[in-house]
Amino acid sequence: MENIVASASSQIADAGHENAPRRSPPGTFVIFGGGGDLTRRLLVPAIYNLACAGLVDDHFSIVAVDWTDMSTGQLQQNFHDALKNFVNSRGTEAVALREDVWAWMSTRIRYVRGSFEDEATYTQLAAEVGDENCIFYLAVAARFFGAIVDRLGHSGLAHETDGMFRRVIIEKPFGSDLASAVALNARLLRSLRERQIYRIDHYLGKETVQNILALRFSNGFFEPLWNRDNIDHIQITAAETVGVEQRAKFYEGTGAVRDMVPNHVMQLLAMTAMEAPTSFDADAVRDEKTKVLKAIHAVGREDVVRGQYGAGTIKGEPVAGYREEPGINPQSRTETYVAMKLRIDNWRWAGVPFYVRTGKRLAARKTEIAIHFKSAPYALFRDTPVEKLTPNIMMLHIQPTEGVTMQFSAKIPGPTVHLGGVRMKFDYSEWFREGPSTGYETLIYDCMIGDATLFQRADNIEAGWQVVQPVLEWERDPGFLHFYPAGSEGPKAADDLLARDHRHWLKIGS
């Protein structure tokens, strides 16, 4: 796992630091779905950033595969327009597009038109890539995953020889439940070896997610506190203000549980709760993450709240309820919110609940992990004006701001003992100069150099689905859905989930 903040990489390289990231090996980056939105908005800008940082080999090319009728020249123009939008997206902090880098990239872009299920497409693709190293990125709907990998295997495109690698990056969703995830993994492994499969979760490309491990295991004063003796509970929040937007068909058949919990939320939980790996070798890290997920106690129905947003207001503007959204069934029982109380059955975390929640149309866009430490004994302050102690909370901010906040008590200046809650905050943007990024730079670069640390292994995927499988089996129950107004903190039942334990959620909209 190597840090790919482009500006920092450039500074390190300029300084001649011995630990500067190395250039990727030569090869071809094949994108199935190369004419789509994901490619334009995220993948091409990420490759551009890597090229700006000097991390892409000169013998590198991009082959976009799609069914759309267009020429290589039209594709190049689409990518150029997308890059200009990308670099201008930071408003007053916008930077100019480096035309020298684009000129270098544009000569290395080729287009293959064809169906993902047509053998002729793979014959043409094989002629394009020859005997080069290849990464095949599946930026396509999940229904094509198995079909594409089958044909990569049948055509010989997945075959590796000494000194030549073939790797496949697969976007989520990895199945729609435990059985389909197991079946998909089995199908992929008929054509590929596990080490060739890179199951991507873009949350793991965020600097603050990667920083969880650095924070825990490189600072001597955190790890001794990171256990049941000192931590009361942990809250994980992944909140959005947006609704389903243009994803109505997908979301109606998916819901918040499938869309977020087995992947994004479970990865945040695993990074927070895992034991120290023996090294930062990919399998050592993934072994520990899988152990944590397998140690999660079977969830009970009383510990799960499903919700769906109704009409409300977001930033002062009225918004429709989920059932009124275009393309949504007016009687839909699809959840747009879920909260769960999870327990991890191991020595470190026994008795420490993990409360997780995720949802759409909530009070603010926020992803964070809040570590609530146990309170200090109050006896010392019994004969003082102090009425209560400020909770000690460490907040790991994932998005939209990235950083760490510590909340603790301090004496208010004056002749008597009065305590006030104070906060110390570390903000990534203030300490590290960083250009615009997509969050995919690190993930793509790691795949290029063969580092799978930030990618999910088959057992990791299946362990995540195992946690939520009971919830999927209860979802048809008409009583298992609560409603909340758009722009709120979520359903009242989610507050009650914590209130039973004499705890409360941190405010999303604060």
Catalytic residues: 264
202 annotated ligand binder: yes
d(CA 199, CA 425): 33
Dihedral (CA of 338, 339, 345, 347) sign: positive
Residue 488 contacts residue 506 (beta carbons within 8 Å)? no
Helix axes 44-52, 6-15, angle to 10 degrees: 20
Q: Which residues contact 494 (CB under 8 A, 6 or more apart)?
A: 305, 307, 337, 339, 357, 482, 505
Was 84 annotated as part of a binding site? no
Counting other chains too, the contacts that 312-319 makes at CB distance below 8 Å and 24 or more residues apart are 312/361, 312/485, 312/486, 312/487, 312/488, 313/486, 313/487, 314/241, 314/361, 314/486, 314/487, 315/241, 315/487, 319/243, 319/361, 319/486, 319/487
Determine whether the annotation assigns residue 496 to a binding site.
Answer: no
The Cα-based distances of 472 to 177, 185, 214, 261, 465 in angstroms read 8, 20, 34, 11, 10
Q: State yes or no: 259 annotated in a binding site.
A: yes
On whether 240 is known to bind a ligand per the annotation, the reply is yes
Burial label for 311, CB within 10 Å (0-12, 13-18, 19+), is: middle
Per-residue CA distances from 319 to 243, 364, 485, 491 (Å): 9, 14, 10, 17
Three-class HEC string of 271-284 = HHHCCCCCCCCHHH
Q: Tell me the pairing of strands 60-66 and 109-113.
A: parallel
- Which residues, in sequence order, are bridge partners of residue 110? 63
Q: Helices in 53-98 by DSSP H: which ranges?
A: 72-87
Q: What DSSP assignment string belongs to 118-142?
A: -HHHHHHHHHHHTTS-EEEEE-S-G
State the Cα–Cα distance between residues 230 and 347, nearest whole angstrom. Answer: 13
Q: Report the relative pairing of strands 337-343 and 317-319 from DSSP bridges.
A: unpaired
249 is in an annotated binding site: no
Distances, alpha carbon 161 to alpha carbons 28, 133, 153, in Å: 16, 10, 14
CA atoms of 281 and 453, how far apart (whole Å):
7
For residue 171, give the nearest of 143, 140, 203 by alpha carbon: 140
Helix (H) or strand (E) holding 291: helix 282-294
Task: Give the C-alpha distances (Å, rounded to integers) separating 414 from 241, 379, 384, 455.
Answer: 43, 21, 13, 53
Among candidates 409, 407, 391, 400, which has minimal Cα distance to 427?
Answer: 400
Q: Which helix (H) or strand (E) holds 299?
A: none
Helix (H) / strand (E) containing 373:
strand 366-373
Task: Specify binding-site residues.
Answer: 172, 202, 206, 240, 259, 360
Task: Specify binding-site residues for substrate.
Answer: 202, 206, 240, 259, 360
